[in-house]
Amino acid sequence: MKAENSLSVSDKKTIILGGGVTGLASGLASGLAVYEMAEAPGGICASYYVAPGSRERLYSAPRDHEAYRFEIGGGHWIWGGDPLVLRFIQSLTTFKSYARSAAVYLSDQATRIPYPIQNHLSYLGSAIARQVLCEMLEAKADNRPTTTMGDWMRACFGPTLCPIFFDPFHQLYAVGLWQELAPQDQSNSPVNLSMAVHGALSSSPQPAGYNTSFQYPVEGLNVLAQCMAERCNIHYGQRVTRLCVNEKLVEFADGREIPYQALLCTLPLDKTLQLAGLTVNHKSDPYTSVMVLNLGARKGPRCPTEQWLYIPRSKAGFHRVGFYSHVDPSFLPLSTRQNGDRTSIYVEKAYMGGKRPTQEQTEALITAVVQELQDWCWIEDVEVADPTWVETAYTWVWPNSPWRQEAMRILQEHDIYQVGRYGRWAAKLTDQGISQSIRDGLYAGASFRECT
């Protein structure tokens, strides 16, 4: 390789770091080289397979299809997005469309309430429904300013509904940060008084929120990622250890060094700053990590029918349970798909950013989660229990924080451009979907097309 001081500008290329869906879209649109840490594309948006009784992960379906299909980061469904982006991803592989079925599970009452709970108050009884409606109307009339997520929820839903659901759920989901963070995007907890009134008087479910319908590849997310990777110049097993911003070199764990003219980086914003040795004179915005426990099991007698459920209280501390196989039976081993007696599940438990549990703690969590789901009669015998870890799962912001903008500005001064959900530290849920990530990647890649 040429020495750095002998390289002309024309010898250096823009390169892409990260082979998740954003990086793949950037590589596909630009023709630039993509460097991915793992041995397979897709990042956390990737499917894998585990046969009953096995612990081996397979990254393509076995020939006999006798395996449970899971995802690295839990249920990643494709919702929203620009119609042209959806048309693009549908050109790569076959998709199915689904209507969302979600609920809130109040474990102390063994009661499931259709999501969003504020639009289905009749399930809480007439007295509570009336009280919550009065408080929501008073809050609307008061229109007081809010600074934190906790303030916003109390101002929208009042002192009766918040302790039932919003407070305990966000205590688990945001790991206690919810009373300090800036308000969450309203699309996650839509506030519509007319729908709340209707739901207080009627028990018929009303679809609301940002993901009332969604799509999913027939053969799994791994196939979508593979189809994109086949159209890219991608290099696997390339873990970045340092970004030498003055010399414009990327250093990899295997000792390799690659010069660059500019970087399109999909790594989490805080991670990129750390690799580059750059600092921002503001408190870093926080993130939370998630342990995803993927389970293949026999259904219990009270197994929910919904695709996923929000859990405000659980002994094991998980905040959401999703049923892959309630979206599509293809998540089950082939021979069990017609029986209706198996289920493929993901369970999510959040942790303060970077506080990964030990192996012993993980095993204890698996035991506790399985026992709790069995106590609820949602599952019986477990055939597969496979945990995955998502280091940067949810990105948050402090009220009025300039950290994100300053971090990206400093990186851009060194020709490093952050792209995608984690690269740009997206705080709004409507900016965090797969189709949105692909859109960002296509846009970023197209903007560097002439540099190839």
Confidence band of 201 (pLDDT split at 50, 70, 90) = confident
What pLDDT, on the 0 to 100 scale, is given for residue 4?
39
In a domain, 433, yes or no: yes
**pLDDT reading at 45 higher than 60:** yes
H helix intervals, 190-245: 193-201, 221-229
Contacts of 60 (CB under 8 A, 6+ apart): 49, 222
Question: 311 in a domain, yes or no?
Answer: no
pLDDT of residue 438: 93
- Residue 82 pLDDT class (50, 70, 90 cuts): confident
Q: Is residue 295 part of a domain?
A: no
Q: Which of 206-210, 299-303, 347-351, 415-419 has the lowest mean pLDDT?
A: 206-210
* pLDDT at residue number 429: 60
Least confident of 72-76, 138-142, 241-245: 138-142
Mean pLDDT for 185-213 is: 76
Residue 452 CA to residue 449 CA, distance in Å, equals 6
**Shared-domain flag, residues 125 and 179:** yes
H or E element that contains 17: strand 13-17
Structural domain total, the chain: 2
What are residue 304's DSSP bridge partners? none
Report if residue 326 sits inside a domain: no
Q: What is the DSSP string of 111-149?
A: EEEESSGGG-GGGG-HHHHHHHHHHHHHHHHH-----SH
> Residue 63's Cα: distance from chain center in Å?
29
Most confident of 7-16, 69-78, 140-149, 262-271: 262-271
- Element spanning 233, H or E: strand 233-235
pLDDT confidence tier of residue 432, bands split at 50, 70 and 90: low
Q: Give me the pLDDT at residue 3, please.
A: 36
Q: Which amino acid is at 395?
A: T
Please identify, among 137, 172, 201, the residue that sits at the C-terminal boundary of a domain. Answer: 201
Identify the top-confidence range among 182-186, 198-202, 251-255: 251-255
Residue 315, C-beta contacts closer than 8 angstroms, at least 6 positions apart: 368, 372
pLDDT for 146: 87
Which residues lie closer than 8 Å to 384 by C-beta, 6 or more apart?
50, 51, 52, 53, 54, 68, 294, 295, 296, 297
Q: Backbone dihedral region of 177: left (phi > 0), alpha (psi from -120 to 50 degrees) or beta?
A: alpha
Task: Kindly state the tokens that stand for 108.
Answer: 């102390």
Q: Is the peptide bond before 259 cis (omega within 30 degrees of 0)?
A: no
In this structure, the answer to whether residues 136 and 192 fall within a common structural domain is yes
The per-residue pLDDT for range 304-360, each reduced to its tens digit, is 999 999 999 999 999 999 999 999 999 999 999 999 999 999 999 999 998 999 999
- Tell me the pLDDT of the chain averaged across its residues: 91
Between β-strands 13-17 and 257-265, what pairing exists: parallel, antiparallel or unpaired?
Answer: parallel
Rounded CA separation 19/232 (Å):
10
What pLDDT, on the 0 to 100 scale, is given for residue 1? 36
Q: Are residues 147 and 194 in the same domain?
A: yes
Beta bridge partners of 265: 17, 418
Residues 227, 265 within the same domain: yes
Are residues 123 and 188 located together in one domain of the fold?
yes
Name which of 443, 440, 434, 435 is nearest 46 in CA terms: 434
Is residue 429 within 8 Å of 185, Cβ to Cβ?
Answer: yes
Q: Specify whether 143 is located in the same domain as 16.
A: no
pLDDT of residue 198: 87
- Has residue 185 got a pLDDT over 70? no
For the domain that residue 237 is a member of, what is the CATH number?
Answer: 3.50.50.60
Burial 20-29 (b: 16+ CB within 10 A, else e): bbbbbbbbbb
Please report whether residue 110 resides in a domain: no
Do residues 225 and 232 make contact, with C-beta atoms less than 8 angstroms apart? no
Same-domain check for residues 196 and 122: yes
State the pLDDT confidence band at 431, using cuts at 50, 70 and 90: low
Q: In the chain, pLDDT over 70 holds for what percent of residues?
A: 93
191 and 223 share a domain?
no
Q: Does residue 330 lie within any of the structural domains?
A: no
Query: Quick one: tokens of 163?
Result: 């302790």
Which among 167, 201, 235 is the end of a domain? 201
- Its domain, for residue 421, covers 4-42+219-282+401-451
- Structural tokens at position 77: 């469904």
Say if residue 223 is in the same domain as residue 197: no
Residues 226, 268 within the same domain: yes
Give me the pLDDT at residue 186, please: 59
Residue 333 in domain = no
Quick check: is 211 in a domain? Answer: no
Supply the pLDDT for residue 171. 96
Average pLDDT for 26-46: 94
Q: Are residues 121 and 195 in the same domain?
A: yes
Residue 272 binned pLDDT confidence (cut-offs 50, 70, 90): very high
For residue 6, pLDDT beyond 60:
no
Are 228 and 268 members of one domain?
Answer: yes
